[in-house]
Structure 1
């Protein structure tokens, strides 16, 4: 749930108090793979897909395609009209691109940085937060709920994020931005990179984890025997990555210079019949 919290009764009530929500979720939703299983079974009737390309990125792509074809309403927010996932959209919404939108970004070392737009949004494209807010406002009107999703800027969303994080002040969770509660819009616009925890302390320096017991929770996954024969024409494949491409190549695949670097590797390597044969095989596979 919000602010790194789970779905225990205390967390639900604390978030409910801030959101003033009449009806709170009491358990987590479906993970990505489970979601598409539910769509294929007809249990989920509508799906809104943003900033991802599940037709290529999720396992068992044929199952994903079957699920999308069966789904009664598929909404896709994308910057490409002809991406793999856009082809399954009943409603295709024009999303703002990376350089056209802005907001707060936190990296893996907990450094919060302001992403600032450096290009104007084209046509009718809009940032994801704006689209979600507009749909949320419409749903609130249908459900006769007041003051829901009334955001006008990224700053207002970040301020709510700060407010929500304050519920961790006396909780095992370390994410607490309550020291920023007086942040003004001007402060936000002038933001310089800042790392949480905001006091400068190093997480887990005391040898305790952010759990009620202070001990780490270790989960042992079920082992998969890759050596056992799995039947006729049945394979297990690992996905790979092209060094100069991003993820499923929805955006970067259109950049000629990124596809040319692969062939140039032949001229930078020491000549070897074995390497040459390997490169020819690689080119055939690609």
Structure 2
């Protein structure tokens, strides 16, 4: 039985049907994004493990806020879970108003993985390191543009912190999703972006982009030859991001604990760990309580980053 993917809008939440045994995984990002890839991977395994139909439903928009709000408004009956990423907490710090409360409107299930982004440029940009890119940008004030998958995303915040750390001016061109953002770097319409490692590596190997540095405290196992930005004298841009699964507040504890156990078992499978590592992800897992403790800490971290860096959006 194949995994079902719902790439179009679903019926309104207010008219949701009775739980029919189908599990819906809402992904608040476009198909092909990091969370979407993980949802397909986890959803397929859950379907086989439970002999249950699993639907992956992409609800992108507003830096993840639209799909996250849809998940928050879903019936808390064990028919819907949210597979999301760092903007779940980042958006609360970055935007003046979001339509959900990450603590009150959700029950944490499990943190899936940590991910990392790298600074990438179009091969036509004549630089071979992050330091050379800084010099290149400073010699062209106001001319260089970068893409991101949207306001408040890890890629956007990484570049804004890069600009603060290096004293450079690079114009932001936000897109709806990472596929479009990286496509225009490959096409030469914009010069640079911060891109998740799992997306970056195949493109770099095909010489469609050039990787200049990883925004992490250490080099990646999947890309050991790519130095960190810190190694190149650029500090304060190591923004590791996370992926996790949550359910609407009020979801039965039995469902939450069972799903936590099932997903932990899935990400311990050697083939799943191999797939995740190949995508530049570091599997995490853990208990419901550990994820519940992590979310307020992450909220506090991002609020501090936004205030310190004077970032933020309406």
TM-score normalised over the length of structure 1: 0.28
Q: Which has the larger radius of gyration?
A: 1
Higher relative contact order (CA 8 A, sep 6+): 2
TM-score normalised over the length of structure 2: 0.26
